[in-house]
Amino acid sequence: MIKLKEDLMRIVFLLSACVSIAAVILICGFLFANGVPAISEIGLFRFLFGKQWKPANNIYGILPMIIGSVYVTAGALAIGVPVGILTAVFMARFCPRWLYKIMKSAVNLMAGIPSVVYGFFGLVVLVPLVRNVFGGRGMSVLTASLLLGLMILPTIISVSETSIQAVPQSYYEGALALGASHERSVFFAVVPAAKSGIFAGVVLGMGRAVGETMAVMMVAGNQAVIPQKITSGVRTLTTNIVMEMGYSTDLHREALIGTAVVLFVFILMINLSLSLLKGGRK
């Protein structure tokens, strides 16, 4: 009876894995089957390096959106990574027990907040703040970076904290035995030992930042031009797809799917880097 249950659960797990793999294959097939022909018709160089996006004139250049995605993601990482890692270190090695429960609940709550709520917060709070402090319209690269930096914090904090707590206690005790203080033992013995896990958290946070749509669309300004400064409006690859897919037809629609292909390749590169990292740790 026990063996029968084990065999049944093994089949269930196998079917679940097959469904997941099939879903990924179907998504890849749909994107490449519909996006690659459009990219070929437009021209790969013109599509990737064109500086103008004017569907009404059959001009499809996504370089402004690629640069916008890179700028916003880099800004989010510059803001979110230091805060996230230091918060994880504090929670893992410095935080009192009573405060840890509160902070852990707050981090979990942040991870569950819908993107549109973050976007509304950015629209109501961050946009006026940036406009009053830095000038411009407020909807800009800086605003989107601030909001995304806030949104990727739960991912970075959770993964980094777990990695730090997984470091053997002997690392910390050995540093203390050599005369290091508590702070030095944590930052020069424990944290370096957890660097692979911390990097994994950063990579996952980067994937969240690259793929975010709704919140960025509400605060970025959505201007399909290369931003000249941090207070300029910007449009990312994801927002470009969402804003125009509803009314697009023919080549315009296929060009948007081609944009999704480029975005998919970006995400794939991020996931591959994480897989290589995990492979290097074994």
Query: What residues have CB less than 8 Å from 248, skipping those under 6 apart?
Result: 55, 255, 256
CB 124 within 8 A of CB 147: no
Six-digit token string for 216:
């960025």
Nearest to 128 by CA among 116, 115, 141, 139: 139
Contact 119, 217 (CB under 8 A): yes
Structural domain spans, the chain: 53-281
Give the C-alpha separation, 264 to 282, whole Å.
27
What the block records as the tokens of 19 is 């469904």
Q: What average pLDDT score do residues 19-30 get?
A: 88
Report whether pLDDT(118) > 90. yes
Of 270, 281, 273, which Cα lies nearest the Cα of 197?
281
Helix (H) or strand (E) holding 13: helix 2-42
Q: What is the mean pLDDT of the chain?
A: 87
pLDDT tens per residue across span 223-275:
888 888 888 889 998 998 888 888 888 888 888 999 989 888 888 887 777 67
Q: Taking each helix axis from N to C terminus, what angle separates 141-151 and 195-211, rounded to the nearest 10 degrees?
A: 130
Average pLDDT of the segment spanning 104-119: 90
Q: Are strands 59-60 and 53-54 parallel, antiparallel or unpaired?
A: antiparallel
Average of per-residue pLDDT across 39-65? 88
Helix (H) or strand (E) holding 37: helix 2-42
**Helix, strand, or coil (residue 234):** strand
* 50 has pLDDT over 90: no
Whole-angstrom Cα distance, residue 101 to residue 51? Answer: 49
For residue 161, pLDDT beyond 70: yes
Give ∠ CA 269-275-278 in degrees, rounded to 5.
145
pLDDT in tens, 72-81: 999 999 999 9
The dihedral through the CA atoms of 7, 11, 17, 21 has a sign that is positive
**What whole-number distance in Å separates Cα of residue 180 and Cα of residue 184?**
6
Angle between helices 63-89 and 250-281 (to 10 degrees): 30
Highest mean pLDDT among 26-30, 162-166, 206-210 belongs to 162-166
Give the pLDDT confidence score for residue 197 in this predicted structure: 85
**Does the pLDDT at position 157 exceed 70?**
yes
Kindly report, residue by residue over 174-224, the tens digit of the pLDDT: 888 888 888 888 898 888 988 888 888 888 888 888 888 888 988 988 888
198: enclosing H helix or E strand = helix 195-211
Fold entry, domain 53-281: MetI-like fold (1.10.3720)
